[in-house]
A and B are shown apart, each in its own frame.
Chain A
Amino acid sequence: MDSTKRYERLRERYLNGDLDRRVFLGLIGAAGLAFGVRTPFVGEARAAASQVRFDGWGGVVSEAFRKLAFDPYTEKTGVKVVDGTFGGGDEYLSRVKASQPGEYNIAHLSGVFDYARYAGLGLASELNEDNIPNLKYVIPKLVDVFRPITGGKISCVPYDYGTTGLAYNRKHISEDEIKEKGAKILLDEKYKGKIAGWADWRTRIWYASLQTDQDPNNATDMDAIWEALRTHRDLLLKYWGSGAELMSLLAEEEIYVTEGWSGRIYALQEQGHDIGYFDPPNGFGWQECLFVIKGSPMPECEELLNFMLAPETSIAVAEGQNYPPALDPQKVDLGKKIPTLPAFDPSGTLAGLTFANPDYWNGHEAEWSKEFGRIQKGY
């Protein structure tokens, strides 16, 4: 019996005098309430499969994603991409932790350590690689590194890579000086008050490892690292917290030197700012992936990932966000601009980049992030 029939019967019983007015109105009210409560959620649940939420780093990166990938994808498939931004993987993880399953779907995560962390918290989905044929264009090394973490399967597709190198104002610091001093320029008393640094504990400890001549993936003298962090802090104008802040500090000449993200520095150079970029030996290399969170609508997510990995989309996004794509240059012609981007590896082996070892970094995450937080605040 459908609802209309049910209401007609109820009305009939009322008109026949079987129900008094109060009971009749009460039943109608209850039915209305049930309909009102139920319908929006049913509607939302149905709509969920026609939209996917994507969260990324904001700024020029998100702009490139929106314009060159999401809008064309929506136009082609009708699936809406709701895009949000975050300032870092830690902040985003907090949001995901507080959310309901399915609320967040795809994240533009940085590094294998983030992937391992998310997987460790039970947030890894299982992608059906058959639904992502464009995965074949990706540099194999970038895909293979994820498999052991999630039992041979993957929960993400690699999308781009870059470095966190030294960004400097060419009016005040020469190329020779930056090459000679390398990471130690961030501890140079001469630039006190004109130095900045990312408020990210991994990057800070990585650079402190370089400054103390240690292997960034296996530092043994942590006391020397904490001391280097304190020295850096005392010379610092500000810890920056986002790509926009990094670009503003350099563009406004509030600072002369900081470590910075290769793509953002390239964007500043494109805008005409006289900012140089230098990757010191063992500089921080990273790869970014599009990670699908457990509980997401998998077919829609896989379709979006496949669309985004299509060479034409991937190259357009890479040119927009200024980070080389994860596509293998030996398999795909990447055009003219991408080979000029910082950190680009024409061989597709990425042998020249040093990536963070996820076991090492995640194994110390609780202890080191806390210690850095204290040093950052003057302790």
Chain B
Amino acid sequence: MGVEAREARQPWILLSPALVAITFLLFVPLAFIVVYSFWLRTATGADVAGFHLDNWTEALTDRFYRDILLYTLKIAAITTVVCAVAGYPAAYFIARSNRNKGFLLLLLMLPFWVSYIIRTMSWINILGVSGAVNSFLIWAGIINEPLQMLYNEATVILGLVHFLMPFMILNVFVSVDGIDQNLESAANSLGATKLQTFFSVTLPLSLPGLAAGGLLCFVLAAGTYITPLVLGGPRDAMFANLVFEAIITQLNWPLGSALSLMLLAVLGALVLVYNHFLGMAQLMKGMG
């Protein structure tokens, strides 16, 4: 075998464990889900194999699913904007702090050491009727009766922001940290104020990081299931909750498969748009 052929084969050999894992853990299960989406559920809960378009017709034409999908995208969008607005200053601060950068990054990672479910449930002890906030307000004499703060859209968004903020900060941090500070100095020396420098130099150069963080936050928020279940009220169900309900409560795996593929298609389209304009490299940097 020639050297060139060997060199051409080497990347594939190195990639093969990952490719095998992706094939068996992602594509094969996905293929099962696609096949399942064309089956039918009988009254007893058993599935009938075949090629039926009923589930897809229901998923695509029923207003119920469309409305919940739009609501899910709305919640994901609000979460992403809040993460961006609140996360950018934090990321900027970390990137520009010379002495404590490592310590601050460690603090940023700390929440990942605690289970996402526990972190979500912790809000019940903070915002509940007998939680920390109400107890303090009553103790301080600001209110007489506890405020009802839990189980609404706002607490769902709060829970999602709590969960997703580190992803945004990390992505923006990587971007801001990579900006040559001489460029900012040059803008200042040419008469730009600090605010002008930020909006003309820093922010445009950090936009790829902001976009990557935004994409991650949006996709993770849109696919969430636990947060609305724990912190949401009766009308705060998101699309993943529908998938859960179809598969678990109604034992309707075929419809659940069609719904999950529908969500996958919407979020996949978003990733493709992102990739077309910005490429995936920035995303990988932030995740790394």
Q: Which A residues fall within an 8 A CB radius of B?
A: 88, 90-91, 93-94, 97, 117, 120-121, 193, 201, 233-234, 236-239, 241, 248, 252-254, 363, 365-366, 369-370, 373-374, 376-379
Contacts and interface: CB of A to CB of B under 8 A. Distances in A.
Contacts of A248: 124
A378 B233 CA distance: 10
Given A366-B45, A377-B234, A378-B234, 5 more contacts: A366-B43, A373-B245, A373-B249, A373-B250, A377-B242
A370 B259 CA distance: 14
B64 interface: yes
Interface of B: 41, 43-46, 64, 68, 124, 128-131, 148, 150-151, 229, 232-235, 237, 242, 245, 247-253
Contact of B45 (A121, A233, A254, A363): A121
Given A238-B151, A254-B129, A369-B250, A374 B64 contact: yes
A242 to B, nearest CB: 10
Contacts of A201: 249
B41 to A, nearest CB: 7
Contact of B250 (A97, A117, A370): A370
B234 A120 contact: no
A365 B130 contact: no
A18 to B, nearest CB: 30
Given A238-B233, A239-B234, A379-B64, A254 B128 contact: yes
Give 3 nearest A-B pairs by CB, closest first.
A378-B235, A120-B44, A377-B237
Contacts of A377: 64, 68, 234-235, 237, 242
Contacts of A193: 148
B249 A253 contact: no
A237 B233 contact: yes
A93 B45 contact: yes
Contact of B233 (A97, A236, A379): A236
A183 to B, nearest CB: 19
Interface centre among A90, A376, A377 (most CB of B within 10 A): A377
A109 to B, nearest CB: 14
A280 to B, nearest CB: 23
B128 A252 contact: yes
A91 B128 CA distance: 28
A87 to B, nearest CB: 9
Given A90-B249, A120-B44, A370-B250, A254 B234 contact: no
A162 to B, nearest CB: 22
14 contacts: A91-B248, A91-B249, A94-B248, A97-B251, A120-B44, A120-B45, A237-B233, A252-B124, A253-B130, A254-B128, A369-B249, A376-B237, A377-B64, A379-B64
Contacts of B242: 373, 377
B19 to A, nearest CB: 22
A190 to B, nearest CB: 15
B237 A366 contact: no
Contacts of B43: 363, 365-366
Contacts of A91: 248-249
B151 A237 contact: yes
Contacts of A363: 43
A120 B251 CA distance: 13
B229 A241 contact: yes
Contact of A366 (B131, B235, B245, B250): B250
Contacts of B247: 94
A370 B43 CA distance: 12
B251 A94 contact: yes
B234 A121 contact: no
A252 B129 contact: yes
A88 B245 CA distance: 12
Contacts of B232: 238
A210 B174 CA distance: 60
A296 B128 CA distance: 44
Contacts of B251: 90, 93-94, 97
Nearest to A369: B250
B234 A236 contact: yes
Interface centre among B44, B130, B237 (most CB of A within 10 A): B44
